[in-house]
Amino acid sequence: MTTPLRYGIIGCGMMGQEHIRNIALIDEAEVVAVYEPDPSMRAEAAGLVPGLRFADSIADLLAMEEVTALLIASPNYLHVDQLEEIARTRPLPVLVEKPLFTDPDDARRIARIEADYPHLIWVAMEYRYMPPIAALLDQAEAATGGIRMLTIREHRFPFLEKVGDWNRFNSKTGGTLVEKCCHFFDLMRLALGSDPVRVMASGGQAVNHLDERYGGQTPDIWDNAYVIVDFENGARAMLELCMFAEGSCYQEEISAVGPTGKIEALAPGPGRFWPAHLGAPPVPKLIISPRDPKGPRELEIPVDPDLLEAGDHNGSTFYQHRFFAEAVRSGGHPHVSLSDGAWAVRIGLAAQESALTGRAVLL
């Protein structure tokens, strides 16, 4: 028999609602309760789940016996406090959104939770499960003979509006290279099978949000960066980020190169943001370029339309939930541990320090 998963969700903004739509597609899984302080977001959640219960606090949510798994999709700066409350009160299997934390001092708190927590905690890193990126990860070793250089380029639209505009300020997000780019630093470690030793970066705020004011304050969130990361095994990786590049054909382009060839993954951004005057959105692709006379091979990797409708991440949120449910039911391990989530944040924080000081940061 498949053990039913009954989720309690902490935070039901844009990403929390995407999780709700994807949980609805998982066999024997449902959302039964939500803790969300904002009335408009509660109304959105109620529209997605008939009969949904609402908690007045996290303690109230944890007291609901029907809840058997938890999802944290609250603002970044709340994650660690909420994980600690769960650990103290009623530990359950948890899927916690990225970034895992925003303050360097929180790394110690995460390590204590990881050492003592009796259930699975999985850090949400959706980009691992985007079909073209998953295909690249699966085939990279055979295509490249071992990756020696990895390049990730994201050209996309600016940060969207969030409740309370918390994502406009470094103090609440951890900064763009943590908030947005921890996904990519996680992919670097995963693809290269190694930990970083040195980070060099240049970044800043060039275009976005400069004319906005919140409580008299101007947003300080960055909108562009280059980051170079050297790894323990001698490989190196680079991230190129631009967040004022609306209408780019592909939002993410990942290239991995080794002694025997090259493999690339091309992933479009969310269809709902694709400019209508450009026609149909592009299909995700994988391009394999071996060092032989055959030349490059280009494969289209279409995504189920129902999964595209359920979220903004090329179906990856669904696949992540399916793997999470399998791990909970089987007593398995998370694909993305607290340690993995902490590494992704640590690289982002180091990149921001490097960009601010003009110096390489050693890890």
As a three-state string, the secondary structure of 91-137 is CCCEEEECCCCCCCCHHHHHHHHHHHCCCCEEEECHHHHCHHHHHHH
Which segments of the chain belong to CATH 3.40.50.720?
A: 5-126
Q: pLDDT by residue (tens digit) across 67-121?
A: 999 999 999 999 999 999 999 999 999 999 999 999 999 999 999 999 999 999 9
How far is Cα 219 from Cα 211, in angstroms, rounded to an integer? 9
**What is the pLDDT confidence band of residue 260, given thresholds at 50, 70 and 90?**
very high
Q: Is the pLDDT of residue 361 over 80?
A: yes
Neighbour count for residue 291 (Cβ, 10 Å): 12
Q: Is the pLDDT of residue 2 over 80?
A: no
Angular region, 214: left φ>0, alpha ψ -120 to 50, beta rest: beta
The two structure tokens encoding residue 69? 């798994």
DSSP run (H or E) holding 323: helix 316-330
Enumerate residues 6+ apart whose C-beta is below 8 A from 289.
261, 262, 263, 264, 295, 296, 297
- What is the pTM for the complete model shown? 0.96
The two structure tokens encoding residue 239? 């991230």
Across 316-332, average pLDDT = 97
How far is Cα 275 from Cα 260, in angstroms, rounded to an integer? 38
The percentage of residues in the chain with a pLDDT greater than 70, rounded to a whole number, is: 99
How far is Cα 34 from Cα 52, in angstroms, rounded to an integer? 7
Q: pLDDT by residue (tens digit) across 156-196?
A: 999 999 888 999 999 999 999 999 999 999 999 999 999 99
Second-level CATH architecture of 5-126 = 3-Layer(aba) Sandwich (3.40)
In this prediction, residue 277 carries a pLDDT of 83
**What is the pLDDT confidence band of residue 254, given thresholds at 50, 70 and 90?**
very high
In this prediction, residue 294 carries a pLDDT of 74
Q: pLDDT by residue (tens digit) across 261-291?
A: 999 999 999 988 888 888 888 999 999 999 8
The topology (CATH level 3) of 127-306+338-362 is Dihydrodipicolinate Reductase; domain 2 (3.30.360)
Which segments of the chain belong to CATH 3.30.360.10?
A: 127-306+338-362
How far is Cα 310 from Cα 331, in angstroms, rounded to an integer? 27
